Structure 1
Amino acid sequence: MKKITHILPKDFDTAALRKSLGLRQDEFWGPVGIEQSQGSRYESNRRLPDPLRLLLPIVYELETQQLEDFRPKTLRKR
């Protein structure tokens, strides 16, 4: 298993990531212990708690570039 040492940006689009993986909300949020209804709230711009911002990159083995790809376009680094 790879060592992941990054955290999701606060403006990370979890819904876009979930959809790109082809997962339903319950399938995406379940492995991190979150109910579908709470996951839906996080996808509706509710702030992700820091532990989830650390855990999601590990569970889904996200690389640094993927973290940038799922940020709103207006906030991406140039």
Structure 2
Amino acid sequence: MKIVENIDVREIRRKLGLNQSQFWSELGVTQSGGSRYESGRNIPRPVQALLRLVHIEQIDIDKIRKDDFEVIEYLRAHQSDLYKSLKKDAKAKKKEK
């Protein structure tokens, strides 16, 4: 997974039209913690990953389940052609919208 580094999280938040509390609470981060990140404190890698998923990829993490990840990992390891085909189809479908 590509991690978000050297980005202006404040700018992302502003473009989304969210206040700090709204933006950071979706990641499980307090407003004060988010404020520190926006002021230049290093963002831990797990928070960077969540930031990318939630605010850049627009994925609703409340809908993701552990078994979804298990299926993905199984497909990657044992059905790589099918996994690649499904991924390609999903991207094409997303572009249609």
Fold similarity call, TM over 0.5: yes
Once residues 47 and 62 of structure 1 are traced to their aligned partners in structure 2, the CA distance between those partners, rounded to angstroms, is 21
2:8 to 13, 16, 20: 13
What is the count of residue pairs matched by the alignment?
58
SS in 2 for 1:32: coil
SS in 2 for 1:48: coil
Compare relative contact order (CA 8 Å, sep 6+) and give the higher one, 1 or 2. 1
TM-score by structure 2 length?
A: 0.56
Unaligned runs of 5+ in 2: 59-97
Once residues 14 and 62 of structure 1 are traced to their aligned partners in structure 2, the CA distance between those partners, rounded to angstroms, is 14
SS in 2 for 1:33: coil
TM-score by structure 1 length?
A: 0.68
Moved beyond 3 Å, runs of 4+: none
RMSD, aligned CA? 1.5
Aligned-pair identity in percent equals 41
- In structure 1, what residue type is equivalent to 2:24? W
Residue 36 of structure 1 and its aligned partner are, at CA, apart by: 0.4
Give 1 or 2: higher helix fraction. 2
